[in-house]
Amino acid sequence: MHAAVQERLIRPARNILGSLRLPGDKSISHRYAMLGAFAEGASRFTNFSTGADCASTLACMEALGARVNRLGGDAVEITGVAGRVTPANHPLDCGNSGSTMRMISGLLAPQQGRFTLIGDASLSRRPMERIRKPLAAMGARLTLTDGHAPLTIEGAPLTAIDYTTPVPSAQVKTCVLLAGLQTSGATTVREAVRTRDHSELALRAFGATLTRTIDSVSIAGPQSLHGIEAAVPGDISSAAFFLCAAALFPGSALVIDALGLNPTRATLLDVLTALGAHIAVLNLEEKHAELVGTVQVSAPAEGLGSTEVSGVLAAQLIDELPVLAAIAPFTRGGIRIRDAKELRVKESDRIALVARNLRAMGAEVAEFEDGLDVPGGQSLHGAIIDSGGDHRIAMAFSVAALRAEGETLIQGAESAAISFPEFFDLLDRVAER
Q: Does 235 bind ligand S3P (CB under 6 A)?
A: no
What region does 113 belong to: left with phi over 0, alpha with psi -120 to 50, or beta? left
Residues forming the active site: 319
Q: Does 416 bind ligand S3P (CB under 6 A)?
A: no
Q: Where are the beta strands (DSSP E) in 324-412?
A: 334-337, 366-368, 371-374, 384-386, 408-411
Footprint (CB under 6 A) of ligand S3P, residues 198-217: none
Alpha carbons 138 and 135: distance in angstroms, whole number: 5
Q: Does 122 bind ligand S3P (CB under 6 A)?
A: no
Size of the site for ligand S3P (CB under 6 A): 11
Q: Does 319 bind ligand S3P (CB under 6 A)?
A: yes
Q: State the minimum distance, in angstroms, from the CB of residue 274 to ligand S3P.
A: 22
Q: Does 191 bind ligand S3P (CB under 6 A)?
A: no
Q: State the minimum distance, in angstroms, from the CB of residue 100 to ligand S3P.
A: 10
Applying CB under 6 A, the span of 62-70, 166-174, 185-193, 393-401 interacting with ligand S3P comes to: 166-174
In the chain, the amino acid numbered 238 is S
Q: What does 405-418 look like in DSSP terms, one character per residue? A: BS-EEEETGGGGGG
Applying CB under 6 A, the span of 16-24, 164-172, 261-269, 363-371 interacting with ligand S3P comes to: 164-172
Q: State the minimum distance, in angstroms, from the CB of residue 376 to ligand S3P.
A: 26
Question: Does residue 327 contact residue 354 with C-beta atoms inside 8 Å?
Answer: no
- Other beta carbons within 10 angstroms of residue 351's beta carbon come to 24
For 257, 399, 402, the CA distances from 431, given in Å and listed in that order, are 18, 10, 8
User: Which of 23, 329 has the CB closer to ligand S3P?
Assistant: 23
Q: Does 171 bind ligand S3P (CB under 6 A)?
A: yes
Smallest CA-to-CA distance from 343 within 357, 334, 353 is with 353
For 35, 66, 77, 79, the CA distances from 41, given in Å and listed in that order, are 11, 10, 11, 6
Contact with ligand S3P (CB under 6 A) among 64, 318, 399, 413: 318
Q: State the minimum distance, in angstroms, from the CB of residue 101 to ligand S3P.
A: 11
Q: Does 96 bind ligand S3P (CB under 6 A)?
A: no
Applying CB under 6 A, the span of 113-121, 163-171, 286-294, 405-413 interacting with ligand S3P comes to: 163-171
Task: List the end-to-end C-alpha distance of the chain, in Å, as a whole number.
Answer: 35
Q: Does 265 bind ligand S3P (CB under 6 A)?
A: no
Q: State the minimum distance, in angstroms, from the CB of residue 293 to ligand S3P.
A: 20
- Other beta carbons within 10 angstroms of residue 262's beta carbon come to 19
Q: Does 218 bind ligand S3P (CB under 6 A)?
A: no
Q: Does 27 bind ligand S3P (CB under 6 A)?
A: yes
User: Which of 245, 318 has the CB closer to ligand S3P?
Assistant: 318
Alpha carbons 320 and 237: distance in angstroms, whole number: 6
Q: Where are the beta strands (DSSP E) in 57-184?
A: 67-72, 75-79, 92-93, 113-118, 141-145, 148-155, 162-164
Q: Does 394 bind ligand S3P (CB under 6 A)?
A: no
Interface ranges with ligand S3P (CB under 6 A): 27, 30, 99, 169-171, 195-196, 318-319, 342
